[in-house]
Structure 1
């Protein structure tokens, strides 16, 4: 059980941009300018725990926020993503989808999420030095 209260469960503690049904959009207050997150109002640890309605409203809020941030900040591109679990980069165990505007004059403009993960210094110890073949998926029940 967490020792500190979840920072996303109390909407009075965050900089709220918009609300729609079971979800809200909040500013990250981190660069690049216009970065935000869409979160479920109910505490859900990961994206996999969202209800069908929360998934649908998240999509709608992301679209609306993209439109609004697009008008106000005029970015040249976007990244959208979920960090899931500690190894996946999730620092707050309350599901949150990042909407990150990208700008042509950024140092890493044109480099997407996959580029970061594919850097040689990011290879796992198991995979360093050799490509690891994909593991077969179990059959669908």
Structure 2
């Protein structure tokens, strides 16, 4: 992880996430904000996004990671109260080969519910189709 200044500069790319009106944010702190995913894979699917338009979380400063995990915890507490999911997947895509389609880092906080897939064994390992099972 690098530790650059969290403020964007004049060379920073524009981001679709930064164009979302502030009133659509579900939570924020000084370095990151949260939005509901516009293409959710489950009810409550939330994105945690740094204000600084970095491409992947590998470009994040240590304080951005800390701020992101603080917001993950806050959003999880809210989702626990509102939806009572049975579990969560949390992760990010880094690069086109990994499925990243928006070039601005974002963590996915995905509530999971018993029975939402036939066999959840392997979890995020199913990002590579057919290679997730290890039993």
Same fold, TM-score > 0.5, yes or no: yes
Displacement of 1:64 in angstroms is 0.8
If you compute each CA radius of gyration, which structure gives the higher value, 1 or 2?
1
Secondary structure in 2 matching 1:80: strand
Match of 1:9 in 2: 18
Displacement of 1:71 in angstroms is 0.8
Residue segments in structure 1 that go unaligned for 5+ positions in a row = 123-141
In 1, distance between residues paired with 2:25 and 2:94? Answer: 22
Alignment deviations for residues 87-132 of structure 1 (CA, whole Å, 9 cap, x no partner): 1111100000000000102124523011443615x9xxxxxxxxxx
Higher relative contact order (CA 8 A, sep 6+): 2
Match of 2:34 in 1: 25
Displacement of 1:60 in angstroms is 0.5
In 2, distance between residues paired with 1:90 and 1:14? Answer: 25
Cα 1:98–1:50 change in 2 (3 A) is same
TM-score, structure 1 normalization: 0.75
In 2, distance between residues paired with 1:116 and 1:87? Answer: 11
Query: For 2:109, which of 99, 105, 111 is the aligned residue?
Result: 99
TM-score, structure 2 normalization: 0.78
In 1, distance between residues paired with 2:98 and 2:68? Answer: 20
Residue segments in structure 2 that go unaligned for 5+ positions in a row = 1-12
Aligned residues: 118
Cα 1:109–1:77 change in 2 (3 A) is farther
Q: Report whether the alignment pairs 1:71 with 2:67.
A: no
Alignment deviations for residues 45-82 of structure 1 (CA, whole Å, 9 cap, x no partner): 11011111111000100011111101101100100011
